[in-house]
Chain A
Amino acid sequence: MAAAAWIPRRIAAPGAGMLTAVKCLVFAACLLPLADLLWAAWRDDLGANPIEAITRGLGTWTLNFLLITLSVTPLRKLSGLDWLVRLRRMLGLYAFFYASLHLLTYLWLDQFFDWAAIVKDIAKRPFVTAGFLAWLMLVPLAATSTQAMMRRLGGRRWQRLHRSVYAIGVVAVLHYWWLVKKDVTLPFTYALILGALLAWRAVRRQDRGGRANAALVRTPGVAMAKSGAE
């Protein structure tokens, strides 16, 4: 798809150098939430319950990065800026990075490696179960994020595996929803955004399916050949 007419050429099709610069910038920007937390910790500005504040901050940014990653494709399709997809892996890996720090905070600062309590927590508390499950589901995605792994798996299988990120999004929002005591305004907002991002995909898929079917109907020969092949 071509970029929208109003987008300058330089932005629609940046050169290799420009793209590297953008990537570096995004890489650095993704570290800002962490830097902000560390800075607040350094100034002792995390409030009365710093461990809770760190856990919450890292969890929130995990969710943010999941949603940002999931917005790449819609943004790309809507704007026509195809190079946006080249940021997707980095953003996804940042989601995993913040998720891992979030989990580490729980294991270390919150539970202080009290494994008995941790296992019990994961087994008994639905919100902990969901959070742990979401992290676990991210692991294979991070592990297969390299070019080499993509080739080894083959594009189709790789894509099928990476579609699990939709489920991860749902589980992660549930994790937040179940954790909140009463006021679900924020989890609801995340659910809404996630819902919109997934709905956009569902609608597009249906559209594509509809167009494909229409094409088949218009050319009966192809349809017959296809059904014959199956």
Chain B
Amino acid sequence: MPRYTPPSHAASEITPRALFDSRRAFIRSAGLGSIALAAGALGLGRAASALAAQKFGALERSPFSTDEKQTPYKDVTNYNNFYEFGTDKREPAQSAQSLRLRPWTVTLDGLVARPRTLDIDSILRLAPLEERIYRMRCVEGWSMVVPWLGIPLAALLKQVEPLGSARYVEFQSLHDPAQMPATRLRVLDWPYTEGLRLDEAMHPLTIMALGLYGEELPRQNGAPLRLVVPWKYGYKGAKSIVRIRFVEREPATSWMRAGPSEYGFYSNVNPGVDHPRWSQATERRLGEFLKRKTLMFNGYAEQVGQLYAGMDLRRNF
């Protein structure tokens, strides 16, 4: 059977100048950080990172990480859109605590040579955990900077040897009304379904997050594993995933079914294409007073722009 060959990665495998520089800056700031640590003057973020190192062992630093100010842990874990646990953003921090995280398996099937069901603990050992400090832009017009821990999604997807006919990947979140009472309200078409084009899924920026701020992923953030695609609106990041299916046709996502004119398949962050009900030109970074300008592809244009060369992004929103 033909094995999947990733689309030409050449461009993305060359570390862009800006990234190279930011890596330098990162190394410098890490150095400063350890001095600060020694001096005992450490913020919450660094304290948590130190904790992570204990919990997960040595973390791989990533050149993809931003050095922007990280959103405080308290805000990252108390401001969550996780509709399976209620539509109020403060709610999941309480209501998601009933979610059982073990045993947990993820089934990878569809157009693959070797369909498999993987246990979460084996996924945790698949590849070295990396810290990825990413911007996250919500479609509602706010944004955060989150220090995720995770593995490249590609490392997971390669386990099952996708066939040549597989062009899209569909992600399904857990739908268990016993654990997720809010799903009795048919706010969305459960299970929560998301999708990516295969080349987007294989892109090195795309990760399966297993933790944040050095800890295991809190339940309200999508434990035990969630998708993070930093150049797309936050809702593309399906939480508490139980199934990954390789398909030939573009899958219909929960949000597309909920509002086809409002939510498209691609959902790339794009300040030039407004949501029908609100502008996407600006955003409020949590913790900041003035809005800031939203960047094309959430500031990751250099890494992912070529994925959409020649596409009409106004139509493919």
Contact = CB atoms under 8 A, between A and B. Distances in A.
A182 B87 CA distance: 9
Nearest to B235: A181
The B interface is mostly helix, strand or loop, or mixed, namely: loop
Interface stretch (A9-17, A79-87, A117-125, A159-167): A117-125
A127 B185 contact: no
B90 interface: yes
Given A47-B78, A183-B87, A178 B277 contact: yes
Contact of A47 (B90, B258, B282): B90
B79 interface: yes
Contacts of B142: 49, 52
B279 A121 contact: yes
Nearest to A181: B140
B83 A183 contact: yes
Interface stretch (B118-126, B166-174, B283-291): B283-291
Q: Interface of chain A, helix or strand or loop or mixed?
A: helix
A121 to B, nearest CB: 7
Contacts of B185: 183, 185
B278 A125 contact: yes
A120 B279 CA distance: 9
Contacts of A183: 83, 87, 185, 187
A51 interface: yes
Interface residues of B, number: 29
Chain A residues touching B, range: 20 to 34
A117 B282 contact: yes
Given A47-B78, A47-B79, A125 B291 contact: no
B180 interface: no
A117 B279 contact: yes
Contacts, number: 55
Nearest to A109: B289
**Of listed B75, B78, B87, residue having the most chain A CB within 10 A:** B87
B263 to A, nearest CB: 10
Interface string A43-86: 00001110110000000000000000000000000000000000
A182 B263 CA distance: 12
A182 B187 contact: yes
Contacts of B155: none
Interface string A125-144: 11100000000000000000
A39 interface: no
Contact of B79 (A49, A120, A127, A179): A49
Interface in A161-210: 178-179, 181-183, 185
A179 B87 CA distance: 14
Given A47-B79, A48-B79, A52-B142, A182 B188 contact: yes
A1 B290 CA distance: 56
Interface string B276-310: 01110110101101110000000000000000000
Contacts of B259: 182
Given A48-B79, A112-B290, 17 more contacts: A48-B74, A48-B75, A48-B286, A49-B142, A49-B284, A51-B284, A51-B289, A111-B291, A112-B289, A121-B279, A124-B274, A127-B277, A182-B83, A182-B87, A182-B258, A185-B87, A185-B185
Interface of B: 71, 74-76, 78-79, 83, 87, 89-90, 140, 142, 185, 187-188, 258-259, 274, 277-279, 281-282, 284, 286-287, 289-291
